[in-house]
Amino acid sequence: MQTRALGRTGPTVSVIGLGAMGMSDLYGPADEAEGIATIHAAIDAGVNLIDTADFYGSGHNELLIHRALQERSREDVVISVKFGSQRDPAGGWAHAGADVSPAAVKDRLAYTLRRLGTDYVDIYRPSRVNPEIPVEDTVGAIKEMIEAGYVRHIGLSEVGADTIRRAASVHPISDLQIEYSLLSRDMEDTILPTTRELGIGITAYGVLSRGLLSGHWSSGRELAAHDFRATLAPRFKGENLEANLRLVDALRDVAGDLGITVAQVAIAWVASRGDDIVPLVGARRRERLAESLGAAEVMLDADDLARIEKAIPAGAASGGRYADFLLQGMDSERWSP
């Protein structure tokens, strides 16, 4: 597995990382044993970056990773953890804003360390910023945890250029986690130039646009119970879905000529956008993981990239990547602070 550095100050990680969210939450029921087996398969294949959050399954995801890592060396993995988003006992979400206060940084980190069974987190990041809590305060509190030895690097998630600059003025930032795919490219305009100027890496999630670009989606497919895409992902609804699947069919033609799958060409495209970008794949099963990791071997030349661009031009997606009310609260979606 090839490796890339996460920014000027971050860790060296595999060219593809594993996003563990779906093993616990948001995409319907998951098989715990298969999730652990998938984590093991990823590590055995050379993947060393595992992304999670303390609110995925209300702590379940961290416990799952703990169980998986009991059979592996802790030093062989880079664990990235988000915090701040709040849940309720029914699995719902609090909409009052993320709790990323300095007190919450230390409190949530204490529980994360216990659930993961480790004495440090490689990258710790707020899941969202809260307009009522200066990002400088949040980053400053994580900086204290670095000085105390509990955290090694600071990351950000779904923030805009101004917030990135403010955060980086307090402490070096290893990477920004943000949605990035052939169907979600807005961050190319102002956010990506800012991270590159400041030497900050990108960990790209949603590289398969929550399954749309997997090559395994069909218009008649029914979503499982508790699958957030049914209510919070407009791209999976009605005419939006049909239009997006036509884009996937165009990409399928390119993939077929290259002798690879739709998912592999979509992941390889993200990886091709720069050595500072690391795609996260959310495979829940070993067979999907194996397909995704095949993208690491795909080298796209200029002609390939031109054909991909023609199949899915920037801005071609129908429907937002999240529901409007969620986008309105995301710092990365604001043109200015």
CATH number at residue 89: 3.20.20.100
Confidence at residue 332, expressed as pLDDT on a 0 to 100 scale:
84
Cβ burial of 146 (10 Å; 0-12, 13-18, 19+) is: middle
**Among 125, 110, 41, CA closest to 79:** 125
pLDDT in tens, 252-294: 999 999 999 999 999 999 999 999 999 999 999 999 999 999 9
| Dist. CA 317–CA 245, nearest whole Å | 10
Q: Which of 86-90, 223-227, 230-234, 289-293 has the highest mean pLDDT?
A: 289-293
56 in catalytic set: yes
How much is the pLDDT for 96? Answer: 64
CB-side exposure of 264: number of CA atoms within 13 Å?
21
Spatial separation of the C-alpha atoms in residues 250 and 283, rounded to whole Å: 23
Contact 329, 295 (CB under 8 A): no
User: How many domains does the structure of the chain reveal?
Assistant: 1
The β-bridge partners of 5 are: 12
Measured between alpha carbons, how far is 337 from 325 in angstroms, rounded to an integer?
A: 17
For 6-24, write each residue's pLDDT tens digit: 999 999 999 999 999 989 9
Q: How many C-alpha atoms does 143 have within 13 Å on its Cβ side? A: 13
pLDDT at 337 over 50: no
* 3-class DSSP assignment, residue 80: strand
Return the beta strands (E) in the chain as ranges: 3-5, 12-14, 17-19, 49-53, 78-83, 121-126, 151-157, 175-179, 201-205, 277-281
Encoded tokens for 37: 């087996």
Buried b (16+ CB within 10 A) or exposed e, 231-241: ebbbbbeeebb
* Lowest-confidence segment of 113-117, 229-233, 265-269 by average pLDDT: 229-233
Q: What integer pLDDT is reported at residue 336 of this predicted model?
A: 39
| Between 92 and 280, residue with greater pLDDT | 280
What pLDDT, on the 0 to 100 scale, is given for residue 234? 80
Catalytic residue among 27, 56, 180, 205: 56
**3 state DSSP class of 10:** coil
Domain that holds residue 99: 3-333
The strand ranges marked E within 127-247 are: 151-157, 175-179, 201-205
